[in-house]
Structure formats: structure tokens, C-alpha cells
Structure 1
Amino acid sequence: MTIKKITHRFVEAIPENLEDGVLYLAMDYATAIHKCACGCGREVVTPLSPTDWKMSYDGVSISLAPSIGNWSFPCRSHYWIKHNDIRWAGDMSNEAISAGRDSDRRAKGRYFNPPEAAAPEAEVAPASGLWHTVRSWFSGK
């Protein structure tokens, strides 16, 4: 039985037994978890982070982005959670899935291992003193 709507619960810890149609949000662990919306019963873990999923809460409903693609599950379900609605998306080719995973790896690399900023060039203080003054008279500088 596919799910068309999901409710949400903010929890301190993920319960041992998940209910169908409930998205559990453990904010202390930056994690959301639910049973697959296709009805297969598998648990779907969505870590919340700048390089994983983003959760928005408007006081009434929850949305997750990007889409949830359960490519390693036999069901290969693919859907969005938007304002507590399950919006089904189409299947993706293995090539598209691979490209998406590569893109995710690159994004994590950029986020967690940013290129080091070039050190600002040290300002060289102009030479001063008696010898500098004498040399500048003869060199015209």
C-alpha cells in the first residue's frame, strides 16, 4: 500500500518500531527516519545537513529536499515529501543515479575539504633609516 500523506513527530530518540506514514525527526541527531512510502516496510534514514537533506517546517507541515530515491531497495521508490504530502517521482536510470551519487560526493568534498585560501601577501615595509636615505639620494628614488 503506497502512502500519499505522511505525518511528522519530533522525537528525542528514534523509536525502535516505526509506524507507517510517520516521519520521525530527531533534531538533536539531525536525522529524519520513516518507513518507505511504497509500503515495502524498509526504513529510510535521511540525515539533515548542508550536504544531505534539508528539512523545512512551517509550523504545520514538513518538507524534505532533495527527493528521496531508495535506489538500493528492491522497490526503487522515488518521491518527494512536500508539506506532508508524498509526491511520487519517476524511476531514474542507473547512469543518472550514479551521476547523482558522484555529484553528492563532490559536494561533500567541497564542503568538508574546502580549498585553502591563499595567504594574503605580506606587505613589505619600506626600508627606512640613514643608509636608505643616502641611497635614495643617489638613485633618485
Structure 2
Amino acid sequence: MRHETLEHRFVRNVPRELDPGVLYISMDYATAVHSCCCGCGDRVVTPFTPTDWRMTFDGESISLHPSVGNWNQKCRSHYVIRGSRVLEAGAWSASQVEAERRRDKRAKAEHYSQLRDAEPSVDSLAEGGASSPTTRAKAGLSPSIWSRFKIWLSS
């Protein structure tokens, strides 16, 4: 690994040009972005969702869980960010990567099907349910994580 530690910066919007060795954290968009720690310069985006990454800030350092596996990039680097330190993790075989992709797909399908099942019905929406962005705002609810992520990507 070229970068053995990462400096963290809490930002609203991630800059277009990333400083190497910096982990940009946008709590507004529930996402962290950094330049790949191997030094290849590829942008690595780690969204904070129940099925993706979790970020921990202990007042001094940042940790991300699970590991960062750049399987779609040329470098195919794999590392853990713990206590703002970058710990190289072993390379994964194609079968390990594919198994993780299947696990991730299942986890997302299960999580979002539970959310879908919990959403108000069409009848309750007609009665003033709060699932559209406008009705959510009128009800005092914040926009969903995906709505905020889309806004962030377009800014």
C-alpha cells in the first residue's frame, strides 16, 4: 500500500480532485470517498447504508467496515481502514469476489424488500401518506439516503 494512513476531512461535498491520503466524509450524503490507497489514483466511493459500509469516528480516527475491495479496478487492491490506518488485506480469487457479490445482492434484496413491505400502501398515500419527497418534507421527514445521494452526485 502506498498510503499507510489516511487523514480524514468532514465535508458537505467531496471535491472533484481528491488529495491522495485523504478520506473525505460527507455525513450529509452518508458517503466517504478517497483516492485508492494503492496509489493508482482511482476514486473509491464507500456509501454508508445498512448493506454497504459503516463508518466509525472515535473523535480522533476513522474506521470503515467492511474492507475495501476494488475488484472492478485494474489494481484490484483490498484493504481495511481501521483507526485511520490502512491495513493491506489479501487478494481475493475470482470465486471469492463472485461469492461476495452474490451475498451483497441477497443482503440488498432482503433489506430493500423489507423497506418496500413497510412502505404505506397506495390507499394510505391517497389519504396523505408521507413517502414522496414533497409529502415527506411537509411531514417534517428528511429526504431518503438515495435522494440525498442523487442530489450529491449531480452537484
Q: Any idea what SS the aligned residue of 1:41 has?
A: coil
Q: Any idea what SS the aligned residue of 1:87 has?
A: strand
Distance 1:58 1:45 in 2: 21
Which residue is equivalent to 2:20? 20
After the TM superposition, which segments of 4 or more aligned residues of structure 1 sit over 4 Å from their partners? none
TM-score by length of 2: 0.73
Distance 1:40 1:16 in 2: 16
Which residue is equivalent to 1:87? 87
Distance 1:77 1:116 in 2: 37
Q: Could you list the per-position Cα deviations for residues 98-122 of structure 1 after superposition, in whole angstroms to 9, with x for gaps in the alignment?
A: 00010001001111102969xxxxx
Aligned residue pairs: how many? 117
Q: Give matches, 1:90-105, under 5 Å.
A: 90-105=90-105
Higher share of residues assigned helix? 2
How far did 1:16 drift? 1.4
Alpha-carbon distance change, 110 to 74 in structure 1, aligned in 2, over 3 angstroms: same
Name the larger-Rg structure: 1
Which residue is equivalent to 2:64? 64
How far did 1:86 drift? 0.2
Distance 1:101 1:14 in 2: 27
Q: Is 2:77 aligned against 1:77?
A: yes
Unaligned runs of at least 5 residues, structure 2: 119-155
Which residue is equivalent to 2:53? 53
Which residue is equivalent to 1:36? 36
Could you tell me which amino acid in structure 2 is paired with residue 58 of structure 1?
Answer: D
Identity %: 50
Identify the range of structure 1 (106-115 vs 33-42) with the bigger mean alpha-carbon deviation.
Answer: 106-115
Identify the range of structure 1 (65-74 vs 108-117) with the bigger mean alpha-carbon deviation.
Answer: 108-117
Could you tell me which amino acid in structure 2 is paired with residue 95 of structure 1?
Answer: S
Distance 1:72 1:88 in 2: 17
